[in-house]
Structures are given as structure tokens and as C-alpha cells.
Chains A and B, each alone.
Chain A
Amino acid sequence: MQLTDENLIYSETFPGGAHWSMRMSAGNALRLVDIAGGANVAMLMVNPENTLEKYNMPDTLKGQHTFKLTQGNSLYSDMGRVMCSIVEDTFGWHDTATGTCNRRLVESRWGKSSYQQDRNAYLRNGRDSFLIELGKYGLGQRDLAANLNLFSRIDVDQAGDLVWSKTQSQAGDAVTLRFEMDAIVVFHTCPHPLNPAVDYPRKPIRYEIRKLPYPAEDDECRLLRPESGRAFENTRLYQLAKGITDDQRK
């Protein structure tokens, strides 16, 4: 992936323990950078044209025979399409199986906190953050599903036990999601629910929006596995049926 000043559209530093959302267009990419090390970006994705179509963890994992997500992987919707693909990853192992922290978990691990007492430094949790952002698009509890936990690595041992890996993201690690179809992207930077830190980790990130070229025939994500090529083909059919030709997408 070429990172140039020309393909950078927007860049912003974003605090830890916060939430936001945006609509990404096909052809644009979202690049996330862990500024201080130890960040976590939890994310859900929804098709704005039909919000019943969402990022689907099981289909993504079984379609690529993987438990971890890294460069070359694509993120599938429940409708058999590539929503976005990971075209850059300097970290190597992102979790999508262990969910997000809720009010109860944050309070039991990092203590009681309220807006009244702590103002905007109060300890936000992932579930409430998702509900607030989903609500902006008319979505809610019924739309919650397994999320991405970018920059957090969870290992699984031989017995199936889940382990917070000793290897976690370092300052400067980056991951880039290239969108193959339009998507509502809902994210927060609250701590990973298995993060053992004594103090509530409040780790800032930078996010960049970039314009990337349409994936070529020899694109790494398209060629990762035979399944990947078929998922890209399903997305292509979706665009063609909408009247968006291959040439228009390039």
C-alpha cells in the first residue's frame, strides 16, 4: 500500500475511552495508528443501504479459516460480501471473538465512575459507546454483534483457554481498512475487556481517511484464499446490480 500525501484526505488524533462513527465510502480507506502503544479500537460495520447487513465475525473467521485478523484478511458481511479488507497491518493479530467491555466489567475492574464526579474523564464502557453511536443511525441493542478489537491480541491455548497475549500493539503500529462497499463504521477506544491493566487504559489513536486504488486482479486480499476471490466477486455483483460498473469503481 502506498502512503502518500496525495492519497491522504483527512487525519485526526482521537482520545482513548471515547466513541465516534462515520460513513465510509467504497474506495476510501480508514487507517488507524496506535499513538502511545496498547490502544484498542473496537468496531462494528453496517451497510447504510440495508442496515440488516452487518460485519459478521463467524463468517469472516470460517471463510478464511482463521481466529486472528491481519493483513490479507477481508472482513465479511453476513451477506457474503467483503465490506473492507486489511491492506496494511504492522501488528499482526487482531481479536474479534471476545466482545467489548460493559458497565459492570469496567466498574468491577477499574472502579466506580460517573459523569457527575469525573466530568468527561469518566470511565466509558464499550457496550454503552456502541449503543450511543448505533442510535445515531436508528440502530440499537438488537444490532449489537461481535466486534473487532483492533490492536488487541488474544491467544488461545491447546485447551481452548483465552489468554491476554504478552505481545500487544506498540506505539506506531498501524492497520488500514480499505472499504469495498459503503459502510457505517461505529467505533470506540474503550479498553479491551481482557486488558489486565491496573488503571483504566486510556490510549489515544490517530485515524486517517485515504483514497486508495481499486483492488487489482493480483491484490493481496483478493488472492489470500479461493474464498476471498469469491467474496470480492459477490461485492462486485452487488455494485454491478446497483449500476456501478467496474470502470466507475477504478
Chain B
Amino acid sequence: MIKESKKEPTNASYSKTIEAGDYWMHVIKQGETFRILDLQGNQAVDTIFYSAANPAERYSATDTIREQGNVYLTAGSILLSTQGNVLMEITADTCGRHDTLGGACASESNTIRYSLDKKCMHSCRDSWLLAIAEQDLFDMSKRDITHNINFFMNVPVTQGGGLTFEDGISDAGNYVEMIAYMDTIVMISNCPQLNNPCNAYDPTPIEVLIWEAE
């Protein structure tokens, strides 16, 4: 569902450009609004959310899609935690839908999907492993890397039970925006995947913006 935001980027309390292949880890406070902006279009943004108070409570893809009764995320979607609490609600979306079934790329899954010699290509999981190693105040390990959201990524499920990876449906300037219901750690990998159309074979920068609670 296309829904525009009334927020002005000039009023944001924080903004940062994240290059493809980099991670970003940040706490969004309860009541703050968080936007991910696809600067050049067709960029997949792999994202996991954790309760800042207790990171063992984190985003649950399965609970989120089951409770909303639909596999795609868009404006109005409530992002649920593994304990059934609300982490975020998507409040604006100019792309239209986002994936949460496809997971993140990793060296190992790249070997399955493309060829055994792709193991040395950069991947989202490598970015996250570096993130949790460097940002050690959160005391996370690989154990905490769970199923994520792929903002701006297009992974349709067919009625016959197939799963397909299609060209992105996001254009330059599209954004998705959400409000935090609790203090939430956001961990992003701006996806470096070069082997499929999720990034139009050309990973590009994104921008993240935060507005203070109203």
C-alpha cells in the first residue's frame, strides 16, 4: 500500500548515508520515527530489529506474517517480536511491498545458489558478523543473527507454492518509514549481492533518517 509521510527530512534529528556492503547498527528510541531511503532505486536493505532492553527478544518473520495474514510487508504492517510484542509499525511506504521470507545472503548460501566458488564474495551475513563483533556493547553473537526483512526487495510467492526473485519494484527516492513501539536496536546490511536482480546487479547507497518522538 502506497502511503506518503508528512515528515520533512530537514527536521530529522539524524541522517546518514550507508554505502552498499556496509552495516549500520543504531538504537531507535520508543516513539522515534525511522526512515530508510532508497537513494538510487532497486536496493535491498537487509534489516533485523532487537529489543534494546533484552536483545534475546527480536524480530520474528513468522509471527509477523502470520498475525497480519499476509506474506508481504507494507504501510500498516506491525513488526512483531519473538515474544509477540510490537517492535515497530510501518507508517509510510512509497515502494509498496517488502520481503521477509528470502532472508539474507551469506557466503555459504551463495555457494548453493550460484556456484561453489562464490564463497569469497561479500555478503550481508559477513557485514552483520562484523557489526556484532565491533559493536560489542550489545553482547551479540552469530546466535543472534535471525530471519530479517529485505526492505525494497521483491520476492513473490506463486499460487502453486513457488518463490521467485524478481526485479526490484523500488525507484530512486522511494522510502519506508516506521515508528518504534519500544527502544529498538536496528541492524542493517546494505546488501552487496551481485548475483541476482534484488539490487539490479548494482548495489547502491541508502540513507537512514530519524525523527524525534512527537
Residues of A within 8 A of B (CB): 52, 56-59, 61-63, 65-68, 76, 78-81, 93, 97-100, 102, 104, 140-147, 155-162, 193-194, 227, 230-231, 233-234
B214 to nearest A CB, angstroms?
Answer: 30
A98 near B62: Cβ-Cβ < 8 Å: yes
- Which among B97, B143, B155 is the interface contact of A52 at CB below 8 angstroms? B143
Q: Which of B84, B146, B163: most chain A Cβ within 10 A?
A: B163
A108 to nearest B CB, angstroms?
Answer: 11
B84 near A97: Cβ-Cβ < 8 Å: no
Q: Which of B62, B109, B112, B157: most chain A Cβ within 10 A?
A: B112
Residues of chain B contacted by A147 (CB below 8 angstroms): 62
Q: Is B60 an interface residue (CB 8 A)?
A: yes
- Which among B61, B113, B116, B158 is the interface contact of A62 at CB below 8 angstroms? B113
| Docked CA distance A9–B97 (Å) | 49
**Besides the contacts A61-B101, A65-B165, A162-B70, what 11 more A-B pairs have beta carbons closer than 8 Å?**
A62-B102, A62-B103, A63-B113, A68-B161, A80-B106, A98-B66, A99-B62, A142-B143, A156-B161, A162-B65, A234-B111
CB within 8 Å: A-B pair count:
128
Residues of B within 8 A of A (CB): 56-57, 60-63, 65-66, 69-72, 82, 84, 97, 101-104, 106-113, 115-116, 141-144, 146-147, 155-159, 161-165
A63 near B161: Cβ-Cβ < 8 Å: no
| Docked CA distance A3–B214 (Å) | 65
B71 near A162: Cβ-Cβ < 8 Å: yes
Give the 9 A-B residue pairs with the shortest CB-CB distance, closest first: A58-B103, A99-B62, A80-B108, A68-B161, A156-B157, A98-B66, A160-B72, A160-B71, A59-B109
| Docked CA distance A159–B159 (Å) | 10
Residues of chain B contacted by A57 (CB below 8 angstroms): 62, 101, 103, 147
Residues of chain B contacted by A63 (CB below 8 angstroms): 109, 112-113
Residues of chain B contacted by A78 (CB below 8 angstroms): 106, 108-109
Query: From DSSP, what is the main secondary structure of chain A's interface residues?
Result: loop
- Which among B116, B159, B165 is the interface contact of A158 at CB below 8 angstroms? B159
| Docked CA distance A160–B157 (Å) | 7
Residues of chain A contacted by B158 (CB below 8 angstroms): 67, 156
A193 near B66: Cβ-Cβ < 8 Å: yes
Residues of chain A contacted by B104 (CB below 8 angstroms): 58
Residues of chain B contacted by A233 (CB below 8 angstroms): 116
With A57-B147, A58-B104 given, is the CB distance from A66 to B62 under 8 Å? no
A227 near B112: Cβ-Cβ < 8 Å: yes
| Docked CA distance A231–B110 (Å) | 10
A128 to nearest B CB, angstroms?
Answer: 12
| Docked CA distance A144–B157 (Å) | 24
B189 to nearest A CB, angstroms?
Answer: 14
Of all chain B residues, which has the CB nearest A76? B112
Residues of chain A contacted by B107 (CB below 8 angstroms): 80
Residues of chain A contacted by B147 (CB below 8 angstroms): 57-58, 145-146
| Docked CA distance A143–B146 (Å) | 9
Of all chain B residues, which has the CB nearest A92? B161
- Which among B71, B82, B97, B110 is the interface contact of A156 at CB below 8 angstroms? B71
